[in-house]
Structure 1
Amino acid sequence: MNKNTNSHEHLQYLLDEHEQILTHMKELNDWWTELDERGLPKFGEMGTRVERFRELLAKHFEDEEQEGYFKPVLDETPGFCIMVPDFKEKHTAILCQIDDFISRLKHPEPPFENWNAALQEFETLLADLREHENHEIQLVQEAFDKSSAE
């Protein structure tokens, strides 16, 4: 019973962490949109803000890869491993895209046509990340539900 309780707490923690990532993404997007509405592009400051977000995201990815979101469930239900994808490659690709974006934002003469072009690229990055995070949330929720049913 205790092992099961710990697994559920662990899974809930991971779900909460995903929600924090999604909230931070929304805050970045809101700030960017507010500057756009005011006509005050701040490429360098946005680069710094995205950089802080990238650090949070990198830690989140590292926790996922080292701790293993699904370890407690796999300990309980080894057959579940068939459903667990390896996200490390996707994590690396996402972080590389964000690094490239930050580098261009912080460039003395940002290579974007305008603030809106940078915003569109940022929104595409966030959409890809949201899709990835939502997929992970779905898998963690399935793991939680499966382990709760046993």
Structure 2
Amino acid sequence: MTDQTKHSVRALFAQWKSEHEDLNQRIDAFREWTYSVSQMGVPKFGEAACKLKQFRKQLTHHFDREDQMGRQLADAYPAGSAEVAASRDQASQDHQELLVELDSLVERLGQLEPPFESWQIAMREVGLFIDRLDEHEEYEGEHIDWLAPEDDVE
């Protein structure tokens, strides 16, 4: 791997980590908001749908960045590393499934009469989605750390 390629891949990893931290902050803020709504006792399904729709935009951007990283890793490891290809394929499939699930949540939360028995049940479903997203990001983080180019030892 050339020094220029290493530098490019390192920069992409740093950007991914920054975006990952931002995603976590947004998730934490959403969880705090849902908790405060629960404490007030007045469900805000429509507002939850709007917040998740905004989150989807950022998540889509993050997934696009990960796809770009996958392509760059494939270029950086020209021998066609099976690990890179398998990780990239799994990530792509996960991204599609997560976005479909998020779209379903947004659609149902945004209905005039949401199909949930209660706010708590709706937020439990959102929590399950967030748990799956966290698992996906942890899995990717482990693979990204493993594939990241190390600094040359002199």
Q: Is the TM value for this pair above 0.5?
A: yes
Deviation, structure 1 residue 62:
2.2
| Cα-to-partner distance string for 1:16-63 (whole Å, 9 max, x where unaligned) | 112211221111111111111221210001100000001111122123
Task: Please give the alpha-carbon distance, in whole angstroms, between the structure 2 residues aligned to 1:7 and 1:95.
Answer: 26
User: Could you state the TM-score of these two structures normalised by the residue count of structure 1?
Assistant: 0.87
Q: Deviations over 1:52-77 (max 9, x none)?
A: 00111112212322x1x244444443
Pick from 101, 106, 110 the counterpart of residue 102 of structure 1.
106
Is the CA contact (8 Å cut-off) linking 2:16 and 2:62 kept in structure 1? no
**Preserved CA contact (<8 Å) 1:112 1:118:** yes
Tell me if the contact between 1:46 and 1:105 (Cα under 8 Å) persists in the aligned partners. yes
| Distance across 1 between alignment mates of 2:71 and 2:150 | 15
> What is the match of residue 58 of structure 1?
60
Q: Which moved more, 1:24-33 or 1:42-51?
A: 24-33
Gaps of 5+ in 1: none
Give how far 1:98 is off. 0.7
Further displaced range: 110-119 or 33-42: 33-42
1:81 aligns to 2:81 (yes or no): yes
Amino acid at match of 2:4: N
Unpaired segments ≥5 residues, structure 2: none
| Partner in structure 1 of residue 45 of structure 2 | 43
Q: Percent identity?
A: 26
The answer on whether the counterparts of 2:16 and 2:65 sit within 8 Å (CA) in structure 1 is no
Residue in 2 that maps onto 1:114: 118
Distance of aligned partners of 1:101 and 1:138 in 2 relative to their CA distance in 1, 3 Å threshold: same
Verify: 1:126 aligned to 2:130, yes or no: yes
How many equivalent residue pairs? Answer: 146
Higher relative contact order (CA 8 A, sep 6+): 1
Q: Which residue of 1 aligns with 2:22?
A: 20
Q: C-alpha separation between the residues in 2 aligned to 1:90 and 1:2?
A: 30
Q: CA RMSD in A?
A: 1.8
Structure 2 vs 1, CA of residues 34 and 79 (structure 1 numbering), >3 Å: closer, same or farther? farther
State the Cα distance separating 1:78 from its structure 2 match: 3.6
